Chains A and B, each alone.
Chain A
Amino acid sequence: MKEATYYPGCSLHGTAREYDESFRGVSKLLEVNLHELEDWTCCGSTSAHCTDEALSVALPVRNLNLAGKYDREMIVPCVACYSRFKAAQQGAKEHPEYLPTPYEEKVAVHYALDFFCDSSMIEALKTKTAKPLSGLKVACYYGCLAVRPPDLTGVKQYENPDHMDRLMEILGAEAVPWSYKTDCCGASLVMTRTDIVITLSQKILSMALEAGADCIVTGCTMCHANLDTRQASLSDASGNKNKIPVFYFTELMGLAMGHREVKKWLSRHVTDPIKLLSSKGLL
């Protein structure tokens, strides 16, 4: 049994509830014992780094200091939170004057996707994959912060990453090649310039359809919300109305490992994924 600290962040306690549930579910099956960070607070997200650099370091550092009390690594499924933690670790080194007390780096922070793509986890996953996702064509959508900036994420192939593609292939799915893996969906502009997000999201959705994918897979709460909920006016090149389900990668891991609560997670999606999985004989 591996012990790890879990930082959920605000979205996983709200609109990305199925990401929280599926992340906890697959961690348990892979014998990772999660300890939710007690008294965690918001990482500050886009709003802090856009408005106040010192605050954008101080808010994540508060949580890093809490996590540093325990001798275990911290896993962050929300890639926006993860990015702020990595940026704060760097910012605290470059600008110690931002903090009232010096920051001592005690905790290793991992993005959940990177954590599960690590070789020991992959080996465990191989032995636990009971129901391979045969016949399911997935478009792996990394978005921005899972890969950029590369000096924070450590991802070398940041223009054409393939670690999520390999993870999906281990689960038995077919990862289709496509060129929108790391294009931006517009993220938090959804609140203020919804028009921009609709344009960007629909481009990503239609490119995944054009690449022959049955569904999109992501590990970002903003990407999932934007892609899952902005499909009302989606149509393909010949004008046909089409929808394409958007999964969290943890949901497909849970499905392949035969987790009992997959249906509950999937019932929270706005774009129905259950019909697709039933038609493929996977659910």
Chain B
Amino acid sequence: MNMNESGMQTGSSFLEEIIRESNVDIRACYQCQKCSAGCPVVSAMDMYPNQVIRQIQYGRREKVLGSKSIWVCASCHTCSVRCPNDIDFAKVMDTLRHIALRSGIIAGEKDVPVFHMVFLESIKRTGRIHELSLILRFKLKTRDFLKDAGLGWQMFRRGKIKILPQVYSARREIKELFNTYEKGAAQ
């Protein structure tokens, strides 16, 4: 069991990792469950927000990083604004996703991180999101070609879907920016 400078028990290197990286002190949680009560996506979670905090405190790294919960969190910030102890849990969820990706742990919701990666690749390619290309590239990864095809057609008819991406001059600059961050050079 470790003690930090304020004399609080920490006892888990995973807990310390989360506190250090998120800069949010989740030791202040007293399990009132207000975060879980207000969470709009709690019914799709395999671990409620308050349980995620408790599991981090227990040091259950693999269980937390491999959970569905961290990927179905919609980043709505309701938990953060309602926490009586000012724990910015939405920020903790971001940190958990970052660590999960870096650790290479298999995601509990596999399509969500795949979507994020396709989205970022699209920005890297052209600097802006061309929605039709994004959707087609994502469908190539998930092989679910028919989902929302009818809706796509309705939106196309209403002039909401552009066939071709825009052409402008920042493409090379944005590729270089991505290359810098992928190498971790700016950090």
Contact = CB atoms under 8 A, between A and B. Distances in A.
Interface of A: 10-11, 13-17, 39-42, 44-55, 58-59, 62, 97-100, 144, 148-150, 158-159, 182-184, 186-189, 191-196, 199-200, 229, 267-270
Interface stretch (B9-17, B29-37, B59-67, B167-175): B167-175
B131 interface: yes
Contact of A192 (B111, B154, B162, B173): B111
B41 A58 contact: no
Nearest to A14: B131
B187 interface: yes
Interface string B60-79: 00000000000010111110
Residue among A42, A58, A100 with the most chain B CB within 10 A?
A42
B143 interface: no
13 contacts: A13-B166, A15-B160, A41-B123, A42-B129, A52-B98, A53-B98, A59-B177, A149-B88, A186-B40, A189-B112, A193-B44, A200-B41, A268-B159
A62 B161 CA distance: 27
Contacts of B187: 54, 97-98
A58 B148 contact: no
Contacts of A267: 158
A62 B127 CA distance: 11
A270 B155 contact: yes
B116 A47 contact: yes
A270 B166 contact: no
A194 B147 contact: yes
A203 B131 CA distance: 27
Interface residues of B, number: 59
A51 B40 contact: no
Contact of A55 (B78, B158, B159, B181): B181
Interface in B135-174: 135, 138, 147-148, 151, 154-155, 158-162, 166, 168-170, 173-174
Given A13-B166, A99-B186, A194-B147, A268 B160 contact: yes
Given A99-B186, A148-B77, A149-B77, A44 B123 contact: yes
A200 B90 CA distance: 19
Contacts of A52: 98, 120, 181
Given A58-B186, A97-B187, A158 B120 contact: no
B155 to A, nearest CB: 6
Residue among A50, A54, A183, A268 with the most chain B CB within 10 A?
A50
Interface of B: 40-41, 43-44, 72, 74-78, 80-81, 88, 90, 94, 97-98, 101, 109, 111-117, 119-120, 123, 127-131, 135, 138, 147-148, 151, 154-155, 158-162, 166, 168-170, 173-174, 177-178, 180-181, 185-187
B44 A196 contact: yes
Given A47-B119, A148-B78, A149-B80, A15 B131 contact: yes
Contact of B129 (A10, A62, A98): A10
Nearest to A144: B76
A269 B151 CA distance: 12
A108 B112 CA distance: 33
B140 to A, nearest CB: 13
A13 B166 CA distance: 9
A45 B119 contact: yes
B97 A229 contact: no
A14 B181 contact: no
A116 B119 CA distance: 31
A196 B77 contact: no
A196 B42 CA distance: 10
A51 B98 CA distance: 5
Contacts of B174: 41, 62
